[in-house]
């Protein structure tokens, strides 16, 4: 069994801008397990554990779903936390863009015949910057979050959707590409 998810990646300059802010927030010494910068992505669908022989049918379904869709234009802007800033569990950078919700819904629908149930939670586009382990030092981190709450990190054109394997390790998850599906060229 391999742990998998479907995601899109943002342009390097956008990730670099977010990395600068993360570096500043890390100086606050909050009790947060930070996401590796190379691991920052927008998850469209978490699949969980699958058998290796499911990879090709999933990729075929993704390719069928994405081939007629135009590339996505994604804006990365603002910081926040789930469920909220008073009791944070996940620190995030916000994402928005036309067609993002529709892409997520199309992938959810397309994968249902392969026995992947739709997500129960509402799709909220974001990059997970870190997971808050405790509120120790949170007030210092919160000051930084509020400073960058509305900061614009940049825009990305996304022209493919990727199926990843996620290997959980003590020092954080490591992701490897299992395959991709291109969106229709503009």
pLDDT along the chain (186 residues), means of 10: 97 96 95 91 96 97 95 97 95 96 96 94 95 96 96 97 92 90 88
Q: What is the largest CA-CA distance in the chain?
A: 48
pLDDT at 171: 77
Radius of gyration of the chain (CA): 17
Cα separation of 6 and 49, whole Å? 13
Cα–Cα–Cα angle for 93, 97, 103, nearest 5°? Answer: 105
Residue-range domains of the chain with CATH: 2-182 (3.90.1140.10)
pLDDT at 8: 97
Pairing of strands 72-82, 152-158: antiparallel
Whole-structure pTM value: 0.92
pLDDT at 38: 87
Which token pair is 163? Answer: 């199926």
């Amino acid at each position: 069994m391999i742990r998998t998810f479907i995601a899109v990646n943002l342009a390097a300059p956008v990730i670099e801008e977010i990395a600068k802010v993360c570096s500043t927030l890390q100086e606050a010494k909050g009790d947060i397990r930070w996401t590796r910068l190379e691991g920052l992505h927008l998850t469209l669908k978490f699949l969980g554990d699958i058998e290796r022989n499911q990879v090709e049918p999933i990729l075929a379904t993704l390719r069928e779903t994405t081939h007629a869709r135009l590339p996505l234009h994604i804006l990365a802007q603002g910081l926040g936390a789930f469920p909220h800033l008073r009791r944070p569990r996940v620190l995030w950078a916000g994402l928005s863009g036309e067609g993002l919700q529709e892409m997520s819904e199309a992938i959810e629908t397309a994968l249902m015949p392969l026995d992947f149930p739709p997500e129960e939670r509402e799709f909220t586009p974001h990059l997970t910057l870190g997971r808050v382990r405790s509120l120790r030092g949170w007030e210092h981190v919160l000051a930084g979050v509020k400073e960058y709450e509305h900061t614009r990190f940049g825009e990305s054109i996304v022209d493919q959707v990727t199926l990843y394997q996620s290997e959980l390790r003590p020092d954080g998850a490591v992701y490897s590409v299992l395959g991709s599906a291109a969106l229709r060229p503009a």
